[in-house]
Amino acid sequence: MFLKSLLLSTLFISSTFAQEIVSPKDTIKEVVSNKLEDIEAIEKKRKELAKKEKARLAVLEKAKKAREEKAKAEMLALEKEKQEIEKANQKIEEEKRIKEEKKRQLLLKVNELKKRIVALDVKLKDNILLKRYSNYDAYRKISAELNELKKNIKEVKNKTEEQAYHLNNKVRIKENELELISEYKGSPIGGLINPPEIENYEEITNPFGIINALSYIKKLQNNKKQFTSVEERISELTNLLDEKLFLYLELYNLDTKPDYKDEITFLDKEKKDFNMVLEIVSTTEEVYTRKIEQVILETKSQISNQIEKIFNIALIIIVLFLITFLIKLALKKYFSQNENYYMTNKVINFIVVFFILMVILFSYIDNVSYLVTILGFASAGIAIALKDWFMSIFGWMVIVTSGSIHVGDRIKVNRGGVEAVGDVLDISLFKITIREDITYTSYTTNRRTGRIFFIPNNYVFSEMIANYTHSGLRTVWDGIDITITFDSNHKKAQHIAKEILKHYSKGYTDITRKQLSKMRSKYQLRATGVEPRVYTFVETHGIVISAWYLTNSYSALVLRSTMSPEILEAFMKEDDIHIAYPTQQININKTDEHYGPSRRPVPRDLEDEIIKR
C-alpha cells in the first residue's frame, strides 16, 4: 500500500509536469494511460517479485525449520544416546554396587559367624568335660601309636640290638602314658561316667549315730546332686557342640575352606561321642537315684526308730524325776530335822542318777567293756595333753552343773596374794569374767577398783573362790570394831552399838531369815542366827567393841559408812564412854655419862601434862 501511494504520487507529479509541457488532452490521456499501464506492470512485477520473495522466504523458512528440526533431532538423538550411556553406566555401577554389597554382606555374615564361634569357644574353653575328652582323644591316639609300634616290632626282621632296644623303649613309654590316663580307656569323660560309690552304713545303735546318719544322708544327696550335675553339664555341652557344628556348616556354605571341613568332621565325631555318653549317664542316673532313695529311706527309718527310743528313755527319766519329786515332797512332811531330810535327799538323788545311768547303759551299750575302753582313752588323752585346757572345760561343767556360781553373783578370788571382789559378768567355756566393784577389800588392800578380771575355770579345783550371793543369799556378815578405854562403861557401849545395828540392819535380817529357810532343803544348816551380834574383846590399847550385822552383799560399804559415824557419835555423847587410841608416855632422864640412863628433873608443866594424858 505504501508503494502504491508512492506511485500515485509520482504519477500525479508527472501529470502536472506534463501539463505544463504538453498541452493537448489526447497526449495527456495517452501518457496517463501509458503511465497507468506502466504502473500496473510495475505493480504486477512487484507482486510477482513479492510473491517470489515470499516463496523464497518460505523456502528459506522451511529450510531453516528443516535444519532446526534436523538439529533438534540430532540433539535428541545425542541426548537419547547420552541417556542410554548413562543408564548403561548406572546399570554397571548398580551391578557393581550390588556385587560389592553382596560381598560385604557375605563378609559380615562370615565375621558374625566367626564371632559367634569365638564366643562359643570362650564358653567351652574351661569346660572340664572337653578337657577330659582331650585325654580320651589322647588315649586313642597313644593306643593307635602303641599298636603301630608293636606291629612294626613284629614286621621288622633282622633288626639290630640297638633298634630293638629303641623300639621296646618306645613301647614302654607309650604303655606308661596309657597307664597314666587309663580311666579314659572306654569313656570320653573318664571316671565321671560312673556315679560315686554308695558306702555301706552301719546300723544306728545310739543317739550319736543319728548325727552320723544325717551326715550320711547329706553325703548321699550331695553325691546324687553331683552325678545329676554331670548329666546336666553333658546335656549343656552337647547343645553347645550342636550350635557350634551348625555355625561351622553355615560358615562352610559361605566359604568352602578345607579347615572348616576338618573342624566339621571333628565336631560331628565329638558330638556323637558325647551323645553316647549322655545316654549312658542318663540311664545310670535313673538307677543310681532309685538306689540312693532306697538307702535314704532305710536310714531315715533307723533314725525314726532311734528317736522313738530316745523319746521312751526321756519319758522314763521324766517319770523317775516326777516320782523323785513326789517322794521328796512326801518325806519333807515326815522329817522334822533338816539333817535327816538332807541325807535322805542325797540318797534319793544318787539312786535316781544310778537308775538313769543303768537305763542309758543297757539301752545303748551292748558290751559294757566298750565304756571302760572309752573312759581309758579319754583319761589318757586328758593326762597327756592340754591339762589346763581340759581342766577349764571340766571346771565349767562343774560350775554349770553344781550351780555354785551364776552370772550376777558377787565372788571373791584369791590368787598369789592378789584379792579380787566383783560381780560375775560371764561364764564361758574357759573363764569367768568379773567386774571389780568398790568393796572393803578395795579400801583396805587394792586401793583401786573397776577392773575386769578373767578367772580360769580350773581355779574351782585349785584356788579359793568365795561366793557372796550363792543360792539366792544376797546378804553377808560385816563388822565394825571400835576401841574404848579400859575405864569406859563397856556394857553400855555394847548395848548402844547393838541397838544401832538392829535399827539399820532389820530389813536385811528378815530377808536373810527367809533365804536361810529356803536353803535348808539343799544344805544342812546349823547356826542360822541372823540377829546383830556385839562382841567385847580386851586388847592392848583398850576394850574392842566388835559389832557384827547383816548387810547387802552388793553395797556393804554403804551401810558400814552410815552406821560407823552413828555409833561414834552415840559413844561420844556418853560421859562414861571414851574412845581409845594409841598413846605414848615420854620419860626424860638426866646423866653425866655419855651412855646409859640418868634421871633429871622434869618441868612441872610437862609432868602435869603427861599425867593428864
The residue type found at 311 is: F
Can you give 38-74 as a three-state secondary structure string? Answer: HHHHHHHHHHHHHHHHHHHHHHHHHHHHHHHHHHHHH
Burial class (CB within 10 angstroms; exposed 0-12, middle 13-18, buried 19+) of 306 = buried
Q: What is the pLDDT of residue 546?
A: 92
Least-confidence region, from 233-242, 465-474, 493-502: 465-474
CA distance 284 to 357: 49
Q: What angle do CA 318, 320, 326 make, to 5 degrees?
A: 105
CA distance 536 to 308: 69
Taking residue 427's Cβ as centre, other Cβ atoms within 10 Å add up to: 20
Kindly indicate the confidence band of residue 537, based on its pLDDT and cuts at 50, 70 and 90: very high
Using only the alpha carbons of the chain, give its radius of gyration: 67
- The pTM (predicted TM-score) of the whole model is 0.42
Q: Tell me the mean pLDDT in the region 297-304.
A: 86
Q: What is the pLDDT of residue 159?
A: 65
Q: How far apart are the first and last CA of the chain?
A: 189
Kindly indicate the confidence band of residue 496, based on its pLDDT and cuts at 50, 70 and 90: very high
Q: What is the pLDDT of residue 355?
A: 85
Give the residue with greater pLDDT, 342 vs 102: 102
Give the residue with greater pLDDT, 22 vs 117: 117
Q: Taking 70 as the threshold, does the pLDDT of residue 104 lie above it?
A: yes
pLDDT digits (tens, 9 = 90+) for 156-189: 666 677 777 777 888 888 888 878 887 777 777 7
Burial class (CB within 10 angstroms; exposed 0-12, middle 13-18, buried 19+) of 154 = exposed
**DSSP assignment of 292-346, as one string?**
HHHHHHHHHHHHHHHHHHHHHHHHHHHHHHHHHHHHHHHHHHH--SHHHHHHHHH
Taking residue 410's Cβ as centre, other Cβ atoms within 10 Å add up to: 22
**Is residue 166 within 8 Å of 160, Cβ to Cβ?**
no
| Residue with grid cell 569365638, as numbered in its chain | 118
Q: What is the pLDDT of residue 596?
A: 45
CA distance 477 to 496: 19
Cα dihedral across residues 163, 168, 170, 171: positive or negative: positive
Kindly indicate the confidence band of residue 598, based on its pLDDT and cuts at 50, 70 and 90: very low
The residue type found at 516 is: L
Kindly indicate the confidence band of residue 3, based on its pLDDT and cuts at 50, 70 and 90: very low
Burial class (CB within 10 angstroms; exposed 0-12, middle 13-18, buried 19+) of 242 = middle
Q: How far out from the chain centre does Cα 261 lie?
A: 49
Cα dihedral across residues 528, 529, 533, 536: positive or negative: negative
| pLDDT > 70: percent of the chain | 82
**Is residue 580 within 8 Å of 485, Cβ to Cβ?**
yes
CA distance 198 to 216: 10
**Is residue 228 within 8 Å of 176, Cβ to Cβ?**
no
The secondary element (H helix, E strand) that includes residue 154 is helix 128-155
Look at the chain and count its residues.
Answer: 613
Q: Taking 70 as the threshold, does the pLDDT of residue 280 lie above it?
A: yes
**Is residue 444 within 8 Å of 509, Cβ to Cβ?**
no
Query: What does the block give as the cell for 321?
Result: 524325776
The residue type found at 135 is: N
The 3-state DSSP class for residue 543 equals: strand
Kindly indicate the confidence band of residue 20, based on its pLDDT and cuts at 50, 70 and 90: very low
354 phi and psi, to 5 degrees? -60, -45
